[in-house]
Structure 1
């Protein structure tokens, strides 16, 4: 649905970005908007926390289970493979059966899988648990956005909520990266699963009390052929890209995965044209503003995630830093991200979502450029080398993500709230996978950071040209 410029301006100038502010400003939507938003936001952060929680302790897990590099890559990617592949289907399930019902089902799967993972005595059970976590998350994430739409039924109130929602995933990823290192060093990697278990169980208990019941989409059918093509195609593409860490692009394993994925994804729009209720209505992506916003979301998620991985490896492997010291180096990143997330909403309210998103992309590009120039230099002190980039990147990422989230969901009808959630989360999950594969292909961390900076600047330029 294309939104007029006047509608964009109205939405942009009524958007705030802090959970408490959003709750206070939307009191007319119901007395429980604040607690409902807090519950849904905590769930969203927990899903992304769980996605990134094995990044730092992965070498420890490899030593404990005697896993080869290929096995570690699969273990690391397992959650993301099912999460990214099933998000579109999860969104349509939420639209078909009701957001709160699918949310509860997803939380139940997520809780059981998160409990099974730390109890695993062998790599097979742990791998299966990570796959199952991704399934639960793929049901939960878009359903949470469908419920959020019901909590804030007025477009202006929903826009205010989305300005805050946009930064929660980046914050959850940062928390997962930071806390997993601390928890692993102090108490072992298994304890990191306590966070998603506690959040999922609490949400299951509180959901019937705090969240509104969302209506099912009576009369709608499920596009199972489209779901099969999209899920298998996205999962195989992600798997093939992840494999480039250990295999060349020309290897049979990588090529079979990528070529099969390409064939399935090329067939997907042909099937969607004939579907009664398509998994992804092709018209949903005809709005250039929405496509650019989704690109900004994917790029922002990719830039922050890839930077964290590259710098974590550099500090530990090249400079010999401990996991705790490495985590401490990213504390300013987390503090700035939190502060910028709180400020992003009021900025969107004053200047409009597109402008804030563009400014955020430019700021993040500057941070990445600084990291490329000085961040990897061993002879430059932390305060002059890493710190400036670790301040600018999260400041820009929070603003870019908040503004893009508002634009990406602007004008979405309530009956497509789950679809919007699935598409937005898919962009957020595919971005890091694609960019990480590109980083491996480039073969140089410095060049990778510089290219990422150019990509951010390019999307910012394109974003500024769309009216």
Structure 2
């Protein structure tokens, strides 16, 4: 006689689905908070400067420290996720990120805040690629994996917006230090629940770590990013700008040479240069650059030109966040119907239109006009860009390289804001200086400089849409999310190519 405690087969299936959903929610929360940490101090920077008595240079370092270590170590973090095991890498990265967040929030002065932000980035660089690769372990079926990636791609934009909202609200009502509570809580949840909700993933890859490559790419990205960060406050001719940028480029060139020679490269160059992947990575890069530029310039515009409080500045981005969330929820269906390529290219076009609308701003422009329209249109486009490009970038990736793929995608997302801001802020500053020299007032000239930079970004998005459409023209494999049970869901035949990667040969289509 049955004891009554054994679940029916249907109940077991429901339980498995629920557990998978909770696991994905945990991974999504980690991804959101890792991106949230980039923008979580932006509206609060004036309060931080006042509380800790920081100079302008110190404030810049505090703002940039997280991104410097995060972007510089992501390639290494992605490889370590494959070498150590995905779940183990996620737990280790979340633990480091959470402890560093607590230190930054509780520390008494500049050194603690700066060190905490830098170590936060170290933990994030280990956790982010592991989290993305675990999505494959949760959803091994190609169709469900593609839909999950579509949702995943939209999480980054939501995290960045959430960071702005959190910072402005907390710094207005309590203290900017309370913003670090969210990263601590999410990190603790990941450490505690990972073993129960997440699979361990495939066995760790037994290959030798490419130490020279890891050192070169980490040093190159970090040094170059530091120089680009300085370009926001100093002319490009200053030694503190061009010196690190040139040094970083040389280190990255040396990294490329090393990767061509070693038996087990950190990042096989053939993995990066495949046409669909390179195109998708560019879309991630320019998308993150455009979004960070909007956050940075509009935060300054609302507070310096329009004299808005940090809370009102954050509230101005609420429509942005709402549009992004709604589009992210629909992204999976859009990709299932039109394919990742079409959604990515269409998103670039829509985002360009949003930038044009926001670029109409002036010193006295009403919020409820072109500005508000742009803050709704742009996030619709950028959510499609991130979702579509994530799916396209991870097409045909072997399971053993999922961590590497996650590191590469996240690197494009982190380097984009650094490079984009350095270029666009410099152009905005130069254009504003020219307007002031021509006799315009400070507010009008500043707004004109910001508008100029945003319109240039719109042109870059439009050009990227055209380039992406041309580069991916005629590509059929992986264009649409396969439907379970359909003939196109058969695994593709593969052949070995350079660097051990397996290129798909799509089976002949039935006519």
Calculate the TM-score normalised by the size of structure 2: 0.84
1:454 is matched with which residue?
Answer: 459
Distance, in Å, in 2 between the alignment partners of 1:155 and 1:198 is 32
- Aligned position for 2:508: none
Instruction: Provide the C-alpha distance between the structure 1 equivalents of 2:16 and 2:340, rounded to a whole number of angstroms.
Output: 22
Please give the alpha-carbon distance, in whole angstroms, between the structure 1 residues aligned to 2:38 and 2:24: 21
What is the aligned partner in structure 1 of residue 328 from structure 2?
Answer: 341
How many Å separate the matches in 1 of 2:216 and 2:17?
40
Matched residue of 1:230: which SS?
A: helix
> Structure with the greater relative contact order (CA < 8 A, sep ≥ 6): 1 or 2?
1
Q: Is the 8 A contact 1:293 1:407 kept in 2?
A: yes
Structure 2: gaps spanning 5 or more residues:
1-12, 430-448, 474-511
User: What residue in structure 1 maps to residue 411 of structure 2?
Assistant: 426
Are 1:191 and 2:178 counterparts? yes
Q: Is 1:94–1:142's contact at 8 Å kept on the other side of the alignment?
A: yes
Q: CA deviation at 1:30?
A: 5.5
Alignment of 1:116-155 (within 5 A): 116-155=103-142
Identify the residue that residue 438 of structure 1 maps to in structure 2.
423
Is 1:370–2:357 an aligned residue pair?
yes
Choose 1 or 2 for highest CA Rg: 2
Shift of 1:219: 2.5
Say whether 1:176 aligns with 2:176: no
1:258 correspondence with 2:258: no
| Inter-partner Cα distance in structure 2 for 1:33 and 1:426 | 27
Distance of 1:330 and 1:119 partners within structure 2:
28
In the other structure, the counterpart of 1:59 is 46
What secondary structure is seen at the aligned counterpart in 2 of 1:384?
Answer: helix
Matches within 5 A, 1:229-240: 229-240=216-227
Matched residue, 2:498: none
Residue 315 (1) aligns with residue 302 (2): yes
2:384 match = 399
- Kept after mapping to 2: 8 A contact 1:29/1:151: no
Match of 1:354 in 2: 341
1:409 alignment partner in structure 2: 394
Partner of 2:36 in structure 1? 49
Partners of 1:268 and 1:188 in 2: CA distance:
43
Once residues 97 and 66 of structure 1 are traced to their aligned partners in structure 2, the CA distance between those partners, rounded to angstroms, is: 42
1:228 aligned onto 2:215: yes
Corresponding residue number in structure 2 for 1:69: 56
RMSD across aligned positions (CA):
1.4
CA shift for structure 1 position 213: 1.0
Distance 2:49 2:277 in 1: 41
In structure 1, how many angstroms separate the alpha carbons of the residues matched to 2:46 and 2:126? 30
- SS, match of residue 221 in structure 1: coil
Determine helix, strand or coil for the equivalent of 2:362: coil
SS in 2 for 1:32: helix
**Residue 235 of structure 2 is aligned with which of 248, 270, 289?**
248
Counterpart in the other structure of 2:145 = 158
Aligned length: 440
Deviation at 1:403, TM superposition (A): 0.6
